Every structure is written in structure tokens, then in C-alpha cells.
Chain A
Amino acid sequence: MQTRLSSDSQETGPQPRRRGESTLAVHAGEAHQKLADSITDPIICASTFTFPNTQAIIDYIEEKQPREEYGRYGNPGEKVVERKLAELEGGEEALLFASGMAAIVGLLMAKLNAGDEVVFFDECYHRSREFCSKHLSRYGVVTRQVKACDYDAMEAAVNDRTKLLVSESPTNPHLSIVDLERFAAIGKRRGVETLIDATLATPYNVRPLEYGVDYVLHSATKYLAGHNDLLAGVIIGSKEQMEPVRNLRGIMGAISSAHNIYLLERGIKTFGLRTQRQNANGQAIAEFLAKHPRIESVYYPGLESHPYHEVARRTMRGFGGLVTFLVKDADWRATANIVDAVTIPRIAPSLGGVESLIEQPLVMSYYECTPEERRQFGIPDNMIRYSCGIENADDLIADLEQALRA
């Protein structure tokens, strides 16, 4: 029996109201009654799936009988998590990948041909832009970058070879917020597909598809999985638009493993709760830092001082768990001393898990760039990025306070 929650519950009458995030996180995509009557989905480690006889193979190939075939093309657990994520984002189809990068690469490779162009807002994850400028360029794909949130510049960069507009929102680490309606409108006007990497937003805070964006991308490693213990990526879009991406994934094979998929499904169950708490911690820490005499400035969309506060308030339910700030009159070493002095957050890249993490972008991600390049990317020496976990805000603030005294 299929789930009673999602599409088939709509057959019973007028459009039901959207179920709460927590209900969806726990139940969406799952069968009401599962294999062996177990309440949780089994971990199916099979690399291949057996056919009882030759006719069954023929029925499968002729699409008379949907089922699994070979592990690279799909796994029952993967389908459950994909349906769950699609429902959380309000999309038709989700595709899971081995990592967030595998997801965006899968989409770009499926959608772009030699001679095509892609336009990025320049605050997108630097590895995504690097893949386009260094690797897709080898296949004759042209990458253009315009200043983040400059919609006129983005539209001006579109020409008849442009196939895709890409942005993050919020961006990392500057936390600029894209006006999704304006962004999607450019795509619609110019007949170009749009992609938002909403890793930092999460579907709890904003659902870009509702604004007309074509694809939503997540590094599911972050808030969706939420426990800093697995890697995964996901893209959500319409069934038709996702079809070529699914086919290419089956060929390229950057899939998520059965064990990972189970941990991801388990992680998503508390997704709504965790995100709520991380929103609250982010706001509390941003407000604390904004008032602290040693802090030069704080990037957090929940602060009125943030340049995109207005857009954020209009489109987001919460402002996320990431807080970026600059330390007043500090060189890179003095800034590093603060990072080294905190005791609760661990020093590590990544974000979105239950454990708070801290890092200095100059050292962690841009160490090999020249000062000129860092200036271009907007990464000053005195910048710290703080990813809130779900610890008590009081503890995190007391810890930051002592680190700033050190």
C-alpha cells in the first residue's frame, strides 16, 4: 500500500491543507505499512534486484511494472527519501546524489551542451562556480558571473545561448538574500531555467519552487541530514524537467549508498524541530554579536541592519543558523585567536548539524587565494563564520563572550 499522506489523500475531496512540516518530515514519502510491518524503512543493501522470470524483465522494460533493476538506477529507500524531500519542498520529483556537488554537477551536465551559457550570482558556493569555469569550459560551456542580487546585471548577461540562471539564497558566507520572485521572473521572461541552492534556507524557511524557480538544490549533508554524519545532495523540480537528470545519474553513478539513505531519512524526521532551534540560535547569536564592542559588523538576515532584511522578512519564515561576522581592528591572527578560543563549536568546515561549528573563511576555504582574489570574493581577513547547532543559546553566547575576552 502506498502512503496515505501525499498525492493520494488528495483524491478524497477538496484540496486538503498542506500538512505541517513536522508531520511531513516524519511521514511524507513513506508507506503506511512497510516491509515486515516494521515502523521504519528497511536498509536494502542490494546491488541488484532479481526478476522471477523473463516475462517480468520484459514487463519492466515495457514500463508495465515499475520496480527496481540495478542499484545504480535506484533503491527503494532512496525513493522514499526522494518523495519525502519532494513533499517538503512542494515539488514533483526529487533526485538524491552522493553529495551536494554531485547533485549540481548532475544537473549541469544534464542540462548544458557545448556553446550553452550559464549565469551565476557571484556569491555562489565557489566550488560550484569553479566546476563551471574550470571544467564545463572544457566542454565549451560559457560561465558568466554577475554581482549577487543585481537583477539588471543578470538579465543583461542573458543571451539566446543562456540555458540556466543559478544562485544561492541565502548566499554563503555573506548571507545575501535573493528576491526569488524577481529572479524567477527573469528566467520566465527570457525562457531560461532557474536554479536556487537553498541549502542555507532549508524548506522550513523558504520553498523557492513556490516562487516559480525551476530547481531547488540542497547539500542534504547540512540541515536536512542535520547530524554531521553523512554526505548527500538533492535536486527537486518538475517530473518532466528532472527526467534527463535522472537518466544521467543512472549513467554517471554518483548515487547515495543504502546506509547513508537510512541515516538521511532518520535525520529528516527531526528536521523541522532542529531548524526552528537553529533559527532561534542564529538570531540570538547575531543580536549578541551586533552589540559587542569587539565586533565590526554582523551578516545575518534577521538583523534590521542587514541589507536584505526586508526581502528576507517577506520571504523567509526564519533566518537560518549561519552567522558571519567581522572582528573589529583584528588581523587574520587575532581573528584566528578567537576561533581557537571558543570551546563549544568545533573548528571545521560544513554547517547545519546539531553540533555548532566555527571557521575563518580566509583559512578554511580561501587560504590559497591571493589577497586580491579574496578582496574580489569579499573575504576579509577578520571574517568568522559561525554555524549554529541546536545547543542552548545561553551556552553558545557565554562561550563566545569568553572567547572575545581572550
Chain B
Amino acid sequence: MKFRTRAIHVGNERDEQTGAVVPPIHMATTYVQHHAGEWREFDYARSGNPTRKNLEQTLASLESGTAALAFSSGMAATHCVTMLLESGDHIVAGSDIYGGTYRLLHKIVNRTGVSVSLTSTGDLDEFERAITPQTKLLWLESPGNPLMSITDLKACVEIAKRHGVLTAIDNTFATPVLTRPLELGIDIVMHSATKYLGGHSDALGGAIVVSERELYDRLYFIQNATGAVMGPFESFLMSRGLKTLELRVREQCRTAQRLAEFLESDSRIQRVLYPGLSSHPGHEVATGQMNGGYGAMLSFEVVGDFAKTKRVAESTKLFQLAVSLGAVESLIEQPAAMSHASYDAADRLSHGIRDELIRISVGLEAFEDLRDDLDQALNA
């Protein structure tokens, strides 16, 4: 079955007892057993819940994996992956990554004796040189946040294989509609399900999807032991959101492409960072790696200073000033002041996040309405 059909049907099997076409929401925290010591499929909700399991099945299918785990947030999912490592281990991460991941790696994970190097994935030789004998994990993001840098995933997999290192990718921006990293040989796919997967700005969640059973078992052990599981209501809303995932993402990509072209030709803009533009350094890799669209996130630098940029971000009417992304409503933000404020100021600049940078998340609104809104805001 095709992607969209699976998004609707896999994991959403008809409820045998009632015939309900949408599976019920199971709120129970514990499950009655038939015999002491003989566990049935579900025992305690942290270890497993039917509503969460349905979602995990759908996610595994959409990412072409064998199993998935749903978490209470994207950060909980990322944290679970880092807990595969031990004191003395080393992580090499791309430099264009979510601010929260930066913070987790540099201010929490480092406390357990795991060290981190951030390296641009633009130069893969340099990226490979950052790998040491202690390196156990490559953490990637593509498109990167907020500069929309594109990482060549196949090339990274080859590097990782050479060094016997696990690869993990935050696939939040691309979504499995556009890129399925497991098919390219990546070991672990992570999502902030809060974004495109849920898609309606109304549920927090994270996910991990893998191909290897043994790796799943290790991750499941950590999740069950540490307990950051997704709740039943959120699982239901996520499953409901996934049913329109492909429709939403494809439409949002189309609108983003048109907005990027509009902005690129505007004299009030210094430059537009969108992998769908031929001017983008990652355009070629993205064309090979992203299926039929370049994502619905784009960044641009306005002509002006921090204050001017702030005014633009505050002057839109349809684009709402908020962090987060990936939902039906379009959002706008200034990374230096918002999503990437958790970077140290010097690190932020050295990673190319300038004060005049604006990031937009393109929602489902009509292109003409969004274009007119940006057009008037740029005069602020």
C-alpha cells in the first residue's frame, strides 16, 4: 500500500468488539492479568498502552522501520537515544541543529561524562575528522534548523559504517513524506511529533523509529525504565493527525516553494535559505534525498538590523509570532531571540545564526494570503 493509505489504515485496525472505525482511546493505567506471573500483552501503561501502540505501528510503517516508540516530547525521544551511551563516549553532531538538542547535549548529557563535538555537515571530510575512537553516535538533522542546511545522509552512513558508529537523525523537518532515512541506512530516526506528525499545534510528543530489533529492545528498555511515554489523548490526536500528514506536507511544501521564490526576488531581503531554491548550497543533495518537495520551513535575512528584523517578525497578521512549527497555522520567529536563544551568543554567531535571520513555518493557508502578509510586514 502507498504511504497515504498506510497513514490511514496501518495501526488503525477496526475495533473488533464494537466495530468502531476509529480505535478507542484507552485511558487505563493498569491491565488485569489472568494469572500471577503470566503477563498478557499489556500490563502497566508505562510499559505499553493500546492507543500508543497503534500510533507506534503507524509510525514504524511510515518511516519504513520495524518498530517505533512514542515519547512525551521530542526532547524525551532525543534524550532516550543519548542514554544508549556511557561515560567516556563521544557524540559528533551537525552544527545546524535545534537549540534544545544543543542544550541537551552541552548542559545535560555532558554531565554523564559523554562529550560532544559540533561540526558542519557541509564539509564531510571535516565531519569525518571529528570522529574519534570514542565516538559512538552521529547526530544529524536535515534540513537543519534554522539554516536549512542539507546533510547528505547516504554519505554520512558510509562514514559511520567505516568507523562502526551509530547514526541518528532528527527527521522532524523533512518528515517521512519527503525523506525516509532508514531506507538510506540510518540507524535511528527521531521526530518531534509535535510538529508535522501531529500537525495541529495541539499535542506534544516525540518518536523514535528503528529497523533493527536489537536496537529497538535497548531503546524500549530505556524508555520503560525512565518513563517519558506519550499519553493516550496525545497518541489519539497524533494518529488522527497522521491521517492527513501527506496531504498537509505536500501542500505546505508547494506554498513554501512559492514563498521562497517570492522572497528571493524581493529587494528588502538579503538572502533566502530554502533547499528548493537553486541558489541553496544543498539544493542538489536535497533534490536526490527529498521526495517531491523541499519542506515547509524557510529562513531569510532581511536588510536591516536586529530591531528591524524584530519589527518584521512582529508585524505579520497571518503568520503568528511563536516558536514551534509544522502545523496548519503559519508561524514566524526570530531565531536569535527565540528558538536558538539557548545557544551561547558566540556559538550562535559562529554557527551562522545572525540577528537579521527570520524563520517561518509555512502552514496550510492560501499562498496569496501568506504572500500578502509577508509583503506588508517587510515594510515595518
> A residues near B, CB below 8 A?
4, 19-23, 25-27, 32, 39-40, 227-229, 266, 269-270, 272-274, 277, 344, 346, 348, 353-355, 357, 389-392, 394-396
Q: Does B2 sit within 8 A of A, measured CB to CB?
A: yes
**Judging by beta carbons under 8 Å apart, are A353 and B21 in contact?**
yes
Q: Which residues of A contact B14 (CB under 8 A)?
A: 346
Take A40-B201, A355-B8, A395-B2 as given contacts and tell me if A390 and B247 are in contact as well, using a CB distance cutoff of 8 Å: yes
Name A227's contact: one of B2, B243, B329 (CB within 8 Å): B243
Take A23-B365, A391-B9 as given contacts and tell me if A32 and B320 are in contact as well, using a CB distance cutoff of 8 Å: yes
8 closest A-B pairs by beta carbon, nearest first, are: A20-B366, A392-B2, A23-B365, A391-B5, A395-B5, A269-B328, A354-B243, A23-B369
Residue on B with the closest CB to A391? Answer: B5
Take A19-B369, A228-B21, A348-B21 as given contacts and tell me if A26 and B1 are in contact as well, using a CB distance cutoff of 8 Å: no
Take A26-B329, A277-B247 as given contacts and tell me if A355 and B2 are in contact as well, using a CB distance cutoff of 8 Å: no
Question: How far, in angstroms, from A390 to B244 measured CA to CA in the complex?
Answer: 8
**Judging by beta carbons under 8 Å apart, are B9 and A26 in contact?**
no
Q: Which residues of A contact B19 (CB under 8 A)?
A: 348
**Judging by beta carbons under 8 Å apart, are A27 and B244 in contact?**
no
Q: Does B22 sit within 8 A of A, measured CB to CB?
A: yes
Q: Which residues of B contact A274 (CB under 8 A)?
A: 244, 247
Take A39-B329, A270-B247 as given contacts and tell me if A390 and B366 are in contact as well, using a CB distance cutoff of 8 Å: no
Residue on B with the closest CB to A33? Answer: B320
**Judging by beta carbons under 8 Å apart, are A227 and B363 in contact?**
no
Q: How far is the CB of B256 from chain A (nearest CB, A)?
A: 14
Q: Which residues of A contact B5 (CB under 8 A)?
A: 344, 391-392, 395-396
Q: Does B251 sit within 8 A of A, measured CB to CB?
A: yes
Residue on B with the closest CB to A21? Answer: B366
Q: What number of residue pairs across chains A and B have CB atoms under 8 A from each other?
A: 103
**Judging by beta carbons under 8 Å apart, are A355 and B247 in contact?**
no
Q: Which of B201, B243, B322, B329 has the most CB of A within 10 A?
A: B243
Take A266-B202, A348-B21 as given contacts and tell me if A273 and B2 are in contact as well, using a CB distance cutoff of 8 Å: no
**Judging by beta carbons under 8 Å apart, are A273 and B366 in contact?**
no
**Judging by beta carbons under 8 Å apart, are B21 and A357 in contact?**
yes
B residues 146-201 in Cβ contact with A at 8 Å? 200-201
**Judging by beta carbons under 8 Å apart, are B320 and A39 in contact?**
yes
Given contacts A270-B244, A390-B247, 19 further A-B contacts (CB under 8 A): A20-B365, A20-B369, A22-B366, A32-B317, A39-B201, A39-B322, A39-B327, A269-B200, A270-B328, A270-B364, A273-B247, A273-B248, A274-B247, A355-B12, A391-B5, A392-B1, A392-B3, A392-B4, A396-B5
Return 10 A-B CB contacts under 8 Å, by A number.
A26-B363, A27-B365, A40-B200, A40-B201, A266-B237, A273-B244, A273-B251, A346-B21, A355-B9, A390-B8
Q: Which residues of A contact B9 (CB under 8 A)?
A: 344, 355, 391
Residue on B with the closest CB to A230? Answer: B22
**Judging by beta carbons under 8 Å apart, are A394 and B366 in contact?**
no
**Judging by beta carbons under 8 Å apart, are A391 and B201 in contact?**
no
Take A40-B201, A391-B4, A391-B5 as given contacts and tell me if A26 and B21 are in contact as well, using a CB distance cutoff of 8 Å: no
B residues 362-380 in Cβ contact with A at 8 Å? 363-366, 368-369
Name A354's contact: one of B3, B8, B327, B329 (CB within 8 Å): B8
Residue on B with the closest CB to A356? Answer: B8
Question: How far, in angstroms, from A355 to B3 measured CA to CA in the complex?
Answer: 14
Q: How far is the CB of B221 from chain A (nearest CB, A)?
A: 34
The B interface is mostly helix, strand or loop, or mixed, namely loop
Question: How far, in angstroms, from A338 to B87 measured CA to CA in the complex?
Answer: 62
Name B2's contact: one of A27, A228, A394 (CB within 8 Å): A394
Residue on B with the closest CB to A23? Answer: B365
Q: Which residues of B contact A269 (CB under 8 A)?
A: 200, 328, 364
Take A27-B329, A348-B19, A355-B9 as given contacts and tell me if A4 and B201 are in contact as well, using a CB distance cutoff of 8 Å: no
Q: Which residues of A contact B331 (CB under 8 A)?
A: 39
Question: How far, in angstroms, from A273 to B329 measured CA to CA in the complex?
Answer: 14
**Judging by beta carbons under 8 Å apart, are B244 and A26 in contact?**
no
Question: How far, in angstroms, from A45 to B360 measured CA to CA in the complex?
Answer: 33
Q: How far is the CB of B287 from chain A (nearest CB, A)?
A: 23
Q: Which of A21, A27, A357 has the most CB of B within 10 A?
A: A27
Q: How far is the CB of A399 from chain B (nearest CB, A)?
A: 9
Q: Which of B3, B9, B237, B363 has the most CB of A within 10 A?
A: B9
Take A39-B329, A355-B9 as given contacts and tell me if A273 and B1 are in contact as well, using a CB distance cutoff of 8 Å: no
Name A19's contact: one of B2, B240, B366 (CB within 8 Å): B366
**Judging by beta carbons under 8 Å apart, are A273 and B364 in contact?**
yes
**Judging by beta carbons under 8 Å apart, are A26 and B328 in contact?**
yes
Q: Does B318 sit within 8 A of A, measured CB to CB?
A: yes
Q: Mark B241-254, 1 if CB is under 8 A from A, else 0.
A: 00110011001000
Residue on A with the closest CB to B364? Answer: A22
B residues 188-247 in Cβ contact with A at 8 Å? 200-202, 237, 240, 243-244, 247
Q: Which residues of B contact A22 (CB under 8 A)?
A: 251, 364-366
Q: How far is the CB of A398 from chain B (nearest CB, A)?
A: 9
Q: Mark B295-330, 1 if CB is under 8 A from A, else 0.
A: 000000000000000000000011010101001110
Q: How far is the CB of B366 from chain A (nearest CB, A)?
A: 3
**Judging by beta carbons under 8 Å apart, are B1 and A227 in contact?**
no
Q: Which of B19, B364, B369 has the most CB of A within 10 A?
A: B364
Residue on A with the closest CB to B240? Answer: A227
Question: How far, in angstroms, from A346 to B20 measured CA to CA in the complex?
Answer: 10
**Judging by beta carbons under 8 Å apart, are A4 and B8 in contact?**
no
B residues 1-60 in Cβ contact with A at 8 Å? 1-5, 8-9, 12, 14, 19, 21-22
Q: Which residues of A contact B200 (CB under 8 A)?
A: 40, 266, 269
Q: How far is the CB of A5 from chain B (nearest CB, A)?
A: 8
Q: How far is the CB of A391 from chain B (nearest CB, A)?
A: 4
Q: Which residues of A contact B244 (CB under 8 A)?
A: 270, 273-274, 354, 390
Q: How far is the CB of B4 from chain A (nearest CB, A)?
A: 5
Residue on A with the closest CB to B328? Answer: A269
Question: How far, in angstroms, from A57 to B21 measured CA to CA in the complex?
Answer: 45
**Judging by beta carbons under 8 Å apart, are B366 and A391 in contact?**
no
Question: How far, in angstroms, from A354 to B202 measured CA to CA in the complex?
Answer: 20
Question: How far, in angstroms, from A394 to B237 measured CA to CA in the complex?
Answer: 27
Question: How far, in angstroms, from A259 to B318 measured CA to CA in the complex?
Answer: 26
